Structure 1
Amino acid sequence: MTHYQTLLYYCYSPIENAEKFAEDHLEFCKSLGLLGRIIVADEGLNGTVSGTADACKSYMDAIHADPRFAKTDFKIDDVAEPSFIKMHCRYKPEIVHSGLRDPKVIDPNIQTGVHLEPKEFLAMKDSDDVVVLDVRSNYEHNVGHFKNAVTLDIDNFREFPEKIKELEQYKGKKILTYCTGGIKCEKASALLLKEGFEDVYQLHGGIIKYGKEVGGQDFEGQCYVFDNRVTVDVNSVNPNIVSTCKNCGKTTSKMINCANPVCNEHFTQCDACGWEMQGCCSDACKENPNNRTYDGTGYYVKVPQPVNADKISKRKHKKIVKSEA
């Protein structure tokens, strides 16, 4: 039986000519037979890749052999099959979309909250002078979060800076931030420090590492992940389910995408409602004639779009003009 793994990782480290790096890195991943999604930016790497244990080891060895990424901390999950069906490696302005692109303002390599190992986080989280802050999006913390955590009404991490004012009431306390794997906390904790919060910490390795090292104690529900698995169990100590079906209110941890491609909302839906609603979040979405076929999973592969030659030509022209300037 083939042994597969899924790797979750990130590394804030400057990359020169990051666009070219992304192209070369994609070919390297393909040569190993890996599948997954990697974001490359001038500020570093953020990825989830999946493949055989041997391929994953070769990948980790190669990343650690590069001095720029030697500090990368991989979260490793054993899986029955690869967690992706394609391999993507793309250049973007940031490795996690926050809108905080200016390294003179926010640079995780210079200042972030104090990194807490899972055991340290567990020991501190219930103290009276501590606030546990979830910096993830609504659909993520709705399906699972730490007990008594403060959650924010945001649809995307780029909205986090706008919510800082709502946290002013906690300035006299220790702020313990957490997210899936740790990457969002790097900028979230740095921004909190910049805005005058003095005692700021972050869960090193995020929820995933916390589950592996201390059994996920007091993490209620499941953890949303950005691959075919959608959600994973992390709590083996005192697990429970906190999410409910959007349509009937029944307790369920099953998260899907709305079958209406125009909507595509992330939401929780029980199996019974899934079949009744044909994977849609509402009756209005159910009426869309272009809905995707619901197969019980609620996970849909993106259909490749036709190549826009005119757009590519304009992008290349801008690069030439920029290089000549």
Structure 2
Amino acid sequence: MAYQILLYYTYTRVADPAYEVERQRAICQCLNLKGRILIAEEGVNGTVEGTVEDTETFIQACALDPIYEDVVWKRSEGTGDAFPKLMVKARKEIVTGGLGDRDVDPHRMTGQRLSAEELHDWIRSDREFTIVDMRNDFEHAVGRFEGSVLPPMGNFRDLASTLPALEHLRDKTVVTVCTGGVRCEKATGFLLENGFADVYQLQDGIVSYMEKYPNQDFKGALYVFDGRITMPLNQHLPGYEMVGRCELCGSPSEHFENCANDACRRHIICCESCLPVDGSEPFCERECAHLRHVVMV
């Protein structure tokens, strides 16, 4: 049986998020879909998995509602167990930037959209610009655009803390990138509100770029927040280059583990050779390496 995963979002006014939660949950349950859907007054952000037939039926059902008329549905191969259950919840935001009262409204302010084709052309032109990766640090650790700026961001809630690392780009042309586009909608608005002059966002995200230009410009794997960990877009194609490195020994790897320290739980790349022989989780190198010896004693 063939499975499919849908990645989608829309920034649009949702008059009654609680009602839309119940409606989406009912549709998903009827179609045996699993995944995560966040609904707020500002829009909808979801990832669901089911059979190809059921996910296509889901798209058709959503198309009957004006809320979803501008959605670009991003399809990828599923496994059948990418999500343990269905979660549909109402939230204040569909993606949390941690800005509080300074939160950005993409309906009012967001960066100019740059298509995958346009970015591909820009990279091959003499145009001066900088790609800024707005994903979490563990995401771009396993795959990223060549030469991109990688702000130190453990979570998108740390968005405000990226400003010092980007200060040198204030008067430059900036192109932000993220997985599917939902984070860049807010990140670019945040940069514009903080005085950045010329800000673009990769329309429909890295996933769309990789589909059109596999193993060109973006090197490595695309991290995803489901059981697959990385999306199987390009690893099997000629020219694939593994950029992920084991945090403990530095060898090439795309295997992720969580730090064994309950006070840390950082998501790290750890090759199978560095995994504890007793089957437990490893301690991360950055903050918790000293605890390995404590446990051994």
What's the TM-score, normalizing by structure 1? 0.81
- Three-state SS of the structure 2 residue aligned to 1:172 is coil
Q: Which residue of 1 aligns with 2:269?
A: 268
Q: In structure 2, how many angstroms separate the alpha carbons of the residues matched to 1:238 and 1:196?
A: 39
Q: Distance in 2 between matches of 1:83 and 1:130?
A: 36
Residues 21 and 80 (structure 1 numbering): CA distance in 2 closer, same or farther, change over 3 Å? closer
Inter-CA distance 277–286: structure 2 relative to 1 (3 Å threshold):
farther
1:118 deviates by 0.9
How many residue pairs get aligned? The number is 287
Can you list the C-alpha shifts for 1:148-173, whole angstroms capped at 9, x where unaligned?
00001111112112222332211232
* 1:237–1:199 distance in 2 versus 1, CA, 3 Å: farther
Task: Provide the rounded CA distance (Å) in 1 between the counterparts of 2:90 and 2:111.
Answer: 27
> How far apart in 1 are the matches of 2:145 and 2:68?
30
Which shows bigger deviation, 80-89 or 232-241?
232-241
Say if 1:32 and 1:55, in contact at 8 Å, map to a contact too: yes
Alignment map for 1:156-175 (pairs within 5 Å):
156-175=155-174
RMSD: 2.3
> 1:110 aligned to 108, 111, 116, which one?
108
Question: What is the alpha-carbon distance in structure 2 between the residues aligned to residue 54 and residue 267 of structure 1?
Answer: 35
| Letter paired with 1:161 | A
Q: 1:214 to 1:16 in 2, by over 3 A?
A: same
Residue aligning to 1:131 = 130
Structure 2, unpaired ranges of 5+: 284-288
Aligned mates of 2:107, 2:77 — CA distance in 1: 30
Task: Report if aligned partners of 1:139, 1:267 keep a CA contact under 8 Å in 2.
Answer: yes
Give the fraction of aligned pairs with identical amino acids, expressed as a percent. Answer: 35
Please report how far the alpha carbon of residue 238 of structure 1 lies from its aligned counterpart in structure 2 after TM superposition.
3.4
Query: Which amino acid is 1:139 matched to?
Result: F
The equivalent residue for 1:256 is 257
| CA distance in 1: counterparts of 2:3 and 2:222, whole angstroms | 20
Q: Secondary structure at the match of 1:276?
A: coil
The 1-side partners of 2:293 and 2:208 are apart by 38
Going from structure 1 to structure 2, the CA distance change for 1:256 and 1:180 (only over 3 Å counts) comes to: same
Q: Which runs of 5+ in 1 are unaligned?
A: 289-325
Which residue does 2:185 correspond to in 1? Answer: 186
TM-score by length of 2: 0.88
1:37 aligns with 2:36: yes
Q: Secondary structure at the residue paired with 1:123?
A: helix
Alignment of 1:275-314 (within 5 A): 275-276=276-277, 278-282=279-283, 284=291
Q: 1:218 touches 1:238 (CA, 8 Å); kept in 2? A: no
Question: Alpha-carbon deviation of 1:261?
Answer: 5.2
Aligned residue number for residue 76 of structure 1: 75
How far apart are 1:278 and its partner, in Å? 2.6
The Cα of 1:247 is off from its aligned counterpart by 2.1
Q: Which residue identity is paired with 1:112?
A: T
Query: Could you tell me whether the CA contact under 8 Å between 2:5 and 2:48 is conserved in 1?
Result: yes
Separation in 1, partners of 2:202, 2:96: 19
Distance in 1 of aligned mates of 2:161 and 2:154: 12
| Structure 1 residue 242 displacement after superposition | 1.5
CA distance in 1, matches of 2:136, 2:97: 12
User: Is 1:41–1:91's contact at 8 Å kept on the other side of the alignment?
Assistant: yes
Matches within 5 A, 1:12-51: 12-51=11-50
CA spacing shift, 1:88–1:226, aligned 2, 3 Å: same
Aligned to 1:202: 201
Higher relative contact order (CA 8 A, sep 6+): 2
Contact conserved, 2:99 with 2:159, CA < 8 A, in 1?
no
CA separation of 1:125 and 1:281: change in aligned 2, threshold 3 A: farther
**Partners in 2 of 1:197 and 1:15 — Cα distance?**
30
